Structure 1
Amino acid sequence: MAEERQIEIALQRQAKKRGGRAVKFTSPGLDGVPDRLVLMPGGRCAFVELKAPGKKLRPLQEKRRTQLEALGFPVYCIDRTEMIGGVLDEIQST
């Protein structure tokens, strides 16, 4: 869990450095939603689920990912700090 928290902190910092925010996302009554909503300049946004290294999405999280993507929202799963820059690049370029 500590490793996941480190990734979460790194995501928040890197998004802020780029002029954006990675805000905690909770949805009472709807389990399995991604951990963070990443908001970037220019109206760019995406959902991000954070996992400890090597961990995968649970079945309910996969279902929520599919539902959000069907609505047109990008959803990412990050399990290593090295992934953050690439994900933020993608969010900013969409």
Structure 2
Amino acid sequence: MGDKINYSEKVLERNLQKRVKEIGGKAYKFISSNCTGVPDRLIIFNGRFCFAEIKSYNGRLAPRQEIEIRKLKNLGAKVFIVYTPEDIESIIKYITDERN
């Protein structure tokens, strides 16, 4: 497949916002002052939602992020870790799939 491109978090976040806007959804920056470790974005489209944590190619989840993501998943939420534009397309596919 070739070499992996190291996309910055900023580039990935902009691309995510753009793609979600193109389908008519919202990608809210999710900042919680009382709960560290929550994912970067809350994505909403057509009554469906998911969370996205954005990382550069070599980025790793902090222990607190792993805990919060596990809690969200245990509550039934879908959480994506975004390292590449392909991961963004996986979010778009998930959020637009009416079976979800």
How high is the TM-score relative to the length of structure 2?
0.86
The answer to whether the 8 Å contact 2:81/2:87 transfers is no
Determine what percentage of the aligned residue pairs are the same residue. Answer: 36
Say whether 1:75 aligns with 2:79.
yes
Say whether 1:38 aligns with 2:6.
no
- Number of residues paired by the alignment? 92
Shift of 1:28: 1.2
Name which one, 1 or 2, has greater alpha-carbon Rg.
2
Secondary structure, aligned partner of 1:72: coil
RMSD over aligned CA atoms reads 1.3
Runs of 4+ in 1 over 2 A off after TM superposition: none
> Unaligned stretches of 5+ in structure 2?
1-6
Shift of 1:56: 2.2
How high is the TM-score relative to the length of structure 1?
0.91
> Unaligned stretches of 5+ in structure 1?
none
Bigger fraction of residues in helix: 1
1:1-94 equivalent positions in 2, closer than 5 A: 3-41=8-46, 43-93=47-97, 94=100
Amino acid at match of 2:83: D
